[in-house]
Amino acid sequence: MTKASFENPGVHLPWAGKPVRIEEAEEILTSLWHLSADNVRISQNVNVRASVLNFVICAPDIATAQRASSLLRDLCSTHIARVILLILDTSESSPTEVSTWVTLRSFPIISDIMRHNFEQITIMLSRSALRSAATIIQPLLKPELPIYLWWLQDPPRDETLFSRLAQTSNRVIVDSESFLQPENSLARLAAYLADTAENPSWALSDLNWGRITPWRQLVAQFFDVPTYQDYLSGIYQIEIEHAISPTRDTTGANGSSPTTPTVNTTRALLFSAWLLKSLNWQIDTANERNQHHPETGEHSWHTSHATGKLQLPGTDELLVHSGRGSITIRPRVEPALTPGSLCLVRILSALDDKHATFAIDRADGAEYAITSVELPEGTRHQRTVSLGQSSSRIASTLLHDELEILGHDRLFEAALNEVYRLLVE
């Protein structure tokens, strides 16, 4: 039998507020709002209560949950109504329990005199209570408001818990930058999405998709130039480099083995998939030269057939690609960058025996890149562009953008499905 605990002697979460019985959560929150209203009457501050959305956060442990709770204060004030922070304790040694804490969170809107308040309910679930997570939180959700689910770290191998929570939501948000098994988890997410294709009750998004947006924009800008558009039909090679951490050459004091590079290819894979879809390329999955080395972050695929018609931006003109090409992903040691950050995109094109190269190269981990175009006549055009701090954009900024969207991001979902084909088929 599940024990509804509010005095768990082994768990103390002062940052989560007051421990309560879950059935008392609404009543205690109401009393906290009354105390807040009393502060307004005595002119201590002016509190604003907004009802915009439900935000459910699923964390695998207490430390991750606390970091997520701290991050909430950085979100735009218009994006919070009720936060339900779920701590999913999967330890086999834990008893079956439901422990609950409630608090009002606040941060200034204009100055410290006017503050925005929102409600946070923290729930720790363990053992068999995990299977009932969706049912447990249902009475706590604000009715008639959209429900956003932020799943921290990798999606679980047991899809039951994930799918039940996803089905209660309008939008599911992940961050593949934090995945411990990046490629397997991306493939698993694509499979989840495919299973709901006929009844898409929830939309899926990845914060890493936002991190590669400046790179997608820069590639598109190359071919906004009329004189470069013809080279779209002649693209035959694409090279992408992503950052990895350097390998330490020395062992630890205790004789431990050297640290291996941290590899996360999710941005490179999503970017590759976007290019493949944009160019209407079809990968020859039977080509023996295709290579997959997830442990080092190296991949390559080849095309061997005509890729079909390609429409130039802003025109009705259709071109047909020559049909032979390749796309390569490889690592580059960049100590100053987060593992997985894009470092280089190089696009090679041949048209009527004339060759052109389009490149975006990040220099020494900087938040800017050098774009260059090398034309057949030998001219080279370069410019330095800001990447909008794409590699260091914190999760709160990216979440702010995602919470502006309620429906499906069809472009991302198509790219994710393409990643699945690249990794699995």
Q: What is the DSSP letter of 247?
A: P
Burial 337-348 (b: 16+ CB within 10 A, else e): bbbbbbbbbbbb
Classify each residue of 119-141 as buried b or exposed e, where b means 16 or more C-beta atoms within 10 Å of its C-beta: bbbbbbbbbebbebbbebbeebb
Helices 395-402/62-71 angle, 10° precision: 70
- What residues contact 271, with CB distance under 8 A and at least 6 apart? 212, 215, 216, 240, 342, 345
Rounded-to-integer distance, Cα 257 and Cα 269, Å:
30
- Per the CB < 8 A criterion, the answer to whether 62 and 122 are in contact is no
pLDDT value of position 194: 81
Q: With contact defined as beta carbons under 8 Å apart, do 32 and 102 qualify?
A: yes
Tally DSSP H helices, then E strands, for the chain. Answer: 10, 20
Q: Which amino acid would we find at residue 3?
A: K
pLDDT of residue 257: 45
pLDDT confidence of residue 351: 82
pLDDT profile of the chain (425 residues), mean per 10: 49 89 89 68 49 91 93 71 91 80 76 68 90 93 93 86 91 94 92 74 92 94 90 90 76 46 91 92 86 93 61 52 81 91 94 89 82 85 79 72 88 94 84
What pLDDT score does 259 carry? 46
SS3 241: strand
- Residue 55 belongs to what H/E stretch? strand 54-59
Q: Give residue for tokens 């198509």.
A: 414
Place of tokens 């609404």: 26
Cα separation, 217 vs 346, in Å, equals: 14
The structure's pTM equals: 0.85
Cα 205 to Cα 26: distance, rounded to the nearest angstrom = 31
